[in-house]
Structure 1
Amino acid sequence: MPTPDRTSLAAIVTAGRELLERGGPAKVSMQAVADRVGVRAPSLYKRVRDREALLQLIAEDIVDDLGTVLAASDGTLTGLAHAYRTFAHTHPEGFRYLYASSPDLAHLQRTSEPVLQAARATVGEERALDAARLVTAWATGFLSMELAGAFRLGGDVDGAFEYGLAQLEVALRQS
């Protein structure tokens, strides 16, 4: 009779994400994940080829989670930017890891669709991808700096986010 499974791939990925949030990718090891799910490290290899494969699964799970958050927004560029910011604040290490990893194209396309739809509604089909990239690049840069504590000159960071977002929308609507 085969040995019963004592963990699942979903539990392994969840444990990996929890470790990632506690200390970045360096904290994600097969041993640490095994300890977290209550098995010996060799047991993980039944589900995950190696640490690189685990990190890939974690990245794809983060992208899927972000896609769910974006899809639940009101679908406007402003709503999407606010959902993106909330996600970054809730999962700061996951947010950072998104841009240090390479989730597969299918995951990225699903996550990008709400942003592309909002961009189409704002600027039309022809420039939708450009507009989506502009908003995403601005928001990612702003949030990366915010999470790193780079806004140290005083002022209202929330207000600056709103100002930047409003200016982007005005510029996009004029194009």
Structure 2
Amino acid sequence: MPTPERTTLPAIVTSARELLEERGAAGVTMQAVAERVGVRAPSLYKRVRDRDELLRLVAEDAASDLSRRFAATDGTITELAHAYRAFARAHPMSFRLVLDSDAAAGAFRDVADPIIAATKSLEAARLVTAWATGFLTMELAGAFRLGGDLDEAYAFGLETIVAGLDRAR
């Protein structure tokens, strides 16, 4: 009789993503994931080739999460930008991993398509994404040290960019 399966690939990816958020990318080790899912580390290799593949799967899962958040919006630049910020604030380490083009390249098109559709051009999508990513990276790093309301600052920046794009069309 074959040995029963003790874990699944979705459980492994979920556990790895939890570890990513708790400990950062360096904390996502095969040993730590194995302990989290209740198996020995060698058992993970039945499902995942190596740590690089595991991080790729985690990045794809995070990108899918972001895509679902985008799909739940009305598809406007404003709503997409707010969903992007909510994702980054809820999952800061996943946000950083999704930006790693090597790790998330396979899933990135699903994230990019709604932004391109909302902005109506790749150039405009890059502008919005670069601004929002820069803002969020600084926010998550605690780099805004001059005080003020970051929610208001984000809304102001977003409104300014949307208005500029509207004028440019």
**Fold similarity call, TM over 0.5:** yes
Moved over 4 A (4+): none
Q: How many residues align?
A: 168
Distance 1:107 1:38 in 2: 28
Is the 2:63–2:111 contact (alpha carbons within 8 Å) kept by the matching residues of 1? yes
Matches within 5 A, 1:15-54: 15-54=15-54
Distance 1:137 1:50 in 2: 32
Distance 2:116 2:103 in 1: 18
The normalised TM-score by structure 1 is: 0.92
- After superposition, the CA RMSD in angstroms is 1.1
* Identical columns (%): 60
1:161 corresponds to 2:135: no
Query: Residue type of the partner of 2:13?
Result: V
2:46 is paired with a residue whose SS is: coil
- The correspondence for 1:142, drawn from 132, 135, 144, is 135
Task: Summarize deviations over 1:35-92 as a string: whole Å, max 9, x none.
Answer: 0000010000000011111011111111111111111111100000000000001101
Q: Displacement of 1:97 after TM fit?
A: 1.6
Distance 1:97 1:87 in 2: 12
Matches within 5 A, 1:1-175: 1-103=1-103, 105-120=105-120, 128-175=121-168
Is the 2:70–2:114 contact (alpha carbons within 8 Å) kept by the matching residues of 1? yes
Is the 1:59–1:97 contact (alpha carbons within 8 Å) kept by the matching residues of 2? yes
Unaligned runs of 5+ in 2: none
Query: Residue type of the partner of 1:49?
Result: R
Distance 1:140 1:104 in 2: 16
Task: Summarize deviations over 1:104-129 as a string: whole Å, max 9, x none.
Answer: 54411112111111112xxxxxxx11
Unaligned runs of 5+ in 1: 121-127
Distance 1:140 1:70 in 2: 15
